[in-house]
Amino acid sequence: MTFITPKAKHGDASDGNLGGRLSRLDGPAKITGSATYAAEHQIDGLVYAVTVQSTIAAGVVTSVDASAAEASPGVLLVLTPDNIMPLKSATTWAGTPGPEGPFLALPRIVSFNGQHIAAVVAETLEQATAAAALIRVTYEEKAHVYGLDDPKAGEGVPIDRMTMSRGDAVKALAEAPVRIEQEYRTPREYNVAIEPHGIIARWEADSLTLWEPSQWIDGMARSYAEWFDIPFENVRMISPYIGGGFGSKALSLPHGAVAAIAARMLGKPVKLVVTRPQTFTAYGGRPATRQTLALGATREGKLLSIVQHGVNETSMLGVAVEPLGSVTAIMYAVPNFSSRQNIIPLNTVTPGALRAPGENPSAFGIESAIDELAYEVGIDPLQIRLLNYAEEDPQAKIPWSTRRLREAFAAGAEAFGWSKRSPAPRSMREGKQLIGWGVAAGTYPVRRTPGEALVRILADGTAEVASSSIDMGQGTYTILAQTAAEVLGIPVEQVRVKLGDSALPRAPVAGGSQLANLMTGAVHKAAHAARDELIGLALNHPGSPFLDQQTNTLTIADGVISTPRSEQPAISIADFMRVIGQEKVEALRDTLPEDKKNTQDRYNNFTTMMAMKPPTEGGYSLHSWCAHFVEVRVDEDFGTVRVSRMVSALDSGRLYNPKLAESQWRGGIIMGIGQALLEEGVVDPRYARVINNNLGDYLVATNADIPDLQVISVGVPDHHASVLGGKAVGELPIVGVAPAIANAVFHATGKRIRDLPITLDKLL
């Protein structure tokens, strides 16, 4: 359990209020190293597990020779497909039943290269590592499918729920005076959080405690409870700090099951941290995607039709869909649209979520294609976007709640100096550097799930906020303290926030950029309830100095209770609590609808994504928006691309803490630059194995790759989107970065790169 207490104000009047630029409250703990991450917890009697991964992509484990490992010093247990405890199949994140049959954390059937197939537990990490290297596995190997380009991959399986249409897109395309059709591709990409995935599991009788980085305490706790067939309440999951998740730490994974099984079998707490190379197959990153986009337009550039067909890879075991039509469907006012999508099963770990799953590759397609159309009809890439501006949601045919994309284009263009752009490709240069300017838009939906929070005013006048929601760096600790401080009328440094513990009030997944909105909403509600109760006591308690005041409410500011119209009486909350002999005033509130407060609905609300409302529910279409303006410099001899300048204008509605929101935006943009220019899981077709499975060879952007990033907020409070007016923040900024860069590269070089990343060999 972690208490985060603000240390000091910064002399800024807005420090404590929602909307103020308070620095992250967890910052000092992280900088000084006192923040304890999952694998750093010191647990008595800890032993260590190391997994062995498959070296083939498809087949069956016919035998595992563990004799040498078992005889190795310090070894306590070797787990293989022969002795792995079968677990119960767990409910999926969507709330649907899990696969039939038991869940085998170390399966005999191998469906991807790098699958966990054995594990060694020993007294020390070194002993476990050494013994794991002695395990000899014999396989019966079968033919594998390595990737989308494998001739054996086929056309895949259509996903009907991805099919969208309006008008008659095929006919309108055929009749359109201008048509372009191209294929756009994105490779397999990884979340590569700096904190690798790891876990400490400890059993006490039938209760399981897990220290594991988690973006979704309650959802992951449910999986463990169901796997081991124990009550949900018997799983305690603790995750006060997460060293980066980006979507990869929201679900329980096989290595977690292995650790918990080993801990149960040994009666000892077990730590299992996957190595960096192992992380590349211990979770699934973004699947490789491919989409064909056909755009039909008038000669003036007015869109008439879009026809899209997309595919993404998935595993042989699970259905992972990266919705490639998500941005295509809503970005432009096009009357005729059709989109369908297939998934292609192949021998890979089941892909997962990586920052803006769906919207990210979807935007790469449509925002590249609209740029191609702009050149085709000879108008400015920014103009064509305004020409086709969607005044309402063209797919749902309902109004936007707020869509400040026009303002984003205007603010971004102004700050960037877009009007000085020379239109022709290869028309701007400095020596050997070809200069290109590109623009692209992005969007991310507002996702909504009810939340819950406890706010407690203590005898000393300070307050606590408690929730099982998490902070993986996005600022939950800080904005919840700000929310409570503002409502309670106490200084922000007198609010302590407790997060990341399943013993606390429930929270849904920290994913889909929903957490800030739903948790500020829940804390706001609970804090109001606590404040009302405190004021009620002050008005009614026999010992209260306000008992005889002719007033029906009171004011609380700077921790002092007073009447609205006079200076006296006034009493600090602490003194008041002492006077009336009260230990605490607390309120637990949720934002569940009245008809969803029953036990089962509550459980599903927090442990599955069943209750997450679509962005179009409620009569408005809710989305965040952004526009990225990029300058690249491409060396004409070497093909190297450098992003030299970037301005992004973003509409995330109201910002609860602009400093933290801007930081999230910049982080997403940086990730987008890496995606555009560097990131690619390289697969050897012969082995269906990712061969650049380390941070030296899987290239993410370094500081040297990132110019000064100017971000501009153009949002306004959107109370259709959330109680306090915020929209999506975290996933928005990466959407549109890669196409903006690709468009700038085209402007610089005249070469259109439609498959990411844009490496130098593609431009030579």
Partner 1 sequence: MKNFTYVRAGSAQEARTASALAGSMILAGGTTLLDLAKCGVAEPDTVVDITHLAGLDRIEVDGTGASIGSLARMSAVADHPAMQDAFPAVTQSLALAASAQIRNMATIGGNLLQRTRCPYFRDAAVFPACNKRSPGSGCSALGGVTRNHAVLGTSDACIATYPGDLAVALVAFDAVVHLGSRATPVDDFFLLPGNHPDREHAMDRGEIITSVTIPLSAAARRSVYLKIRDRQSYEFAAASAAVGLELEEDGRTVRDVRIALGGVATKPWRVRAVEAALIGKVLEPELVRQASLLSMQGAADHGANHYKIDLAPRVITRAVLQLGGLA
Binding residues for partner 1, per CB under 8 A?
55, 113, 126, 129-130, 133, 277, 431-432, 637-640, 642, 677-678, 682-684, 686-687, 689, 691-692, 696-697, 699, 701-705, 757, 759-761, 764
Chain centroid to Cα 620, Å, comes to 24
Nearer to partner 1, 90 or 678 (CB): 678
Minimum CB separation from partner 1 for residue 110, in Å?
Answer: 13
Residue whose C-alpha is closest to residue 492's, from 501, 481, 500, 502: 481
Distance CA 318, CA 254 (A): 14
Nearer to partner 1, 205 or 704 (CB): 704
Q: Is the C-alpha dihedral spanning 189, 193, 198, 204 positive or negative?
A: negative
Minimum CB separation from partner 1 for residue 537, in Å?
Answer: 57
Exactly one of 313, 359, 407, 731 is catalytic; which is it?
A: 731
Residue whose C-alpha is closest to residue 39's, from 239, 262, 218: 239
Residue whose C-alpha is closest to residue 496's, from 466, 464, 523, 455: 464
Distance CA 547, CA 559 (A): 19
Minimum CB separation from partner 1 for residue 685, in Å?
Answer: 8
Nearer to partner 1, 681 or 725 (CB): 681
Minimum CB separation from partner 1 for residue 428, in Å?
Answer: 19
Minimum CB separation from partner 1 for residue 149, in Å?
Answer: 13
Nearer to partner 1, 117 or 499 (CB): 117
Tokens at residue 306, please? Answer: 């879009």
* Catalytic-residue membership of 123: no
Return all residues near 594 (Cβ < 8 A) that are at least 6 apart: none
* 422: exposed, middle or buried (Cβ count in 10 Å: 0-12, 13-18, 19+): exposed
Minimum CB separation from partner 1 for residue 408, in Å?
Answer: 29
Minimum CB separation from partner 1 for residue 725, in Å?
Answer: 39
Nearer to partner 1, 298 or 694 (CB): 694
Instruction: Kindly list the distances between the CA atom of residue 301 and the CA atoms of 86, 374, 405, in Å, as whole numbers in the listed order.
Output: 59, 7, 19
Minimum CB separation from partner 1 for residue 433, in Å?
Answer: 12
Nearer to partner 1, 347 or 517 (CB): 347
Residue whose C-alpha is closest to residue 270's, from 69, 53, 77: 77
Distance CA 416, CA 613 (A): 37
Query: Can you list the positions of beta strands (E) in 596-664?
Result: 623-635, 641-651
Beta-bridge partners for 310: 291, 341
Nearer to partner 1, 133 or 398 (CB): 133
Distance CA 275, CA 128 (A): 13
Q: What Rg, from alpha-carbon coordinates, does the chain have? A: 27
Minimum CB separation from partner 1 for residue 639, in Å?
Answer: 8
Tokens at residue 625, please? Answer: 């928006």
Secondary structure (DSSP) of 505-557: SP---S-TT-HHHHHHHHHHHHHHHHHHHHHHHHHH-TT-TTTTSS-S--EEE
Q: Is the C-alpha dihedral spanning 682, 684, 689, 692 positive or negative?
A: negative
Beta-bridge partners for 59: 110, 141
Nearer to partner 1, 180 or 699 (CB): 699
Nearer to partner 1, 563 or 692 (CB): 692
Given a contact cutoff of 8 angstroms between Cβ atoms, the answer to whether 578 and 459 are in contact is: yes
**What's the angle, vertex CA 124, arms to CA 270 and CA 234, rounded to 5?**
10
Give the residue numbers annotated as catalytic, written as ranges: 731
